[in-house]
């Protein structure tokens, strides 16, 4: 039974900025379906009495003191970008703010 539709693959691919050709959409949808079917096995396990958890490690409240440490030199930081001008990272024009 197919759950993932080609249209969903197209939408998710766009959100992830991955180029998936139109003619491959049904194939990728089917593959994603297989993966979901595999994970779906977990749904057979009764979890009503289990707290939802996002971590398996018995760790919580890990914080650091509000102490500044020396940052990277600007030239080193911007050198990592594909394009720069001075100490600014240069990107294709974006118009809207927010």
Partner 1 sequence: MTAYEPVIGLEVHVQLATASKLFCGCPTTFGAAPNSQTCPVCLGLPGTLPVLNQRAFELGIRTAVALECRVAEVMKFDRKQYFYPDLPKGYQISQYDRPLAHDGHLDVAGGEAVKRIRIRRAHLEEDAGKLLHDPNEPFSYVDFNRAGIPLLEIVTEPDLRLPEDAYAYLVELKAILRALGVSNCNMEEGSLRCDANVSLRPSGAAELGAKVEIKNLNSFKAVKDALAFEMDRQRRVLERGEAVAQETRLWNARAQTTEPMRSKEEASDYRYFPEPDLVPFHIEAAAVERARRELPELPARHRQRLVEAYGLSAYDAGVLAQFRPLGALFEQTVAHYPKPKPVVNWIMGDLLGYLNGRSQDPETLVFQPAWLVHLLEAIERGEISGKTAKALFVEALERQRDPQELMQGRDVRQIVDAGELERLVDVVVSEHQKSVADYQKGKANALMFLVGKCMERSQGKANPQQLKSILQRKLAEPREAVS
Binding site for partner 1 (CB under 8 A): 11, 14-15, 17, 54-55, 57, 59-69, 71-74, 77-78, 80, 85-98
Question: Which is nearest to 79 in space by CA: 71, 87, 68?
Answer: 87
Distance, first Cα to last Cα, the chain: 41
CB nearer partner 1, residue 36 or residue 72:
72
Residues in the chain: 98
Least Å from the CB of residue 96 to partner 1: 5
Least Å from the CB of residue 10 to partner 1: 11
CB nearer partner 1, residue 1 or residue 95:
95
CB nearer partner 1, residue 41 or residue 64:
64
Q: How far apart are CA 46 and CA 62, in angstroms?
A: 31
Residue 59: how many other CB atoms lie within 10 Å: 7
Least Å from the CB of residue 87 to partner 1: 5
């Amino acid at each position: 039974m197919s759950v993932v539709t080609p249209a969903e693959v197209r939408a998710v691919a766009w959100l992830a900025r991955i180029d998936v050709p139109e003619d491959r959409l049904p194939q990728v949808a089917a593959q994603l379906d297989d993966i979901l079917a595999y994970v779906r096995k977990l749904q057979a396990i009764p979890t009503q009495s289990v707290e939802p958890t996002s971590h398996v490690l018995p760790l919580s409240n890990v914080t650091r003191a509000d102490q500044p440490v020396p940052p990277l030199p600007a030239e080193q930081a911007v050198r990592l970008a594909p394009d720069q001008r001075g100490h600014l990272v240069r990107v294709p024009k974006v118009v809207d703010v927010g």
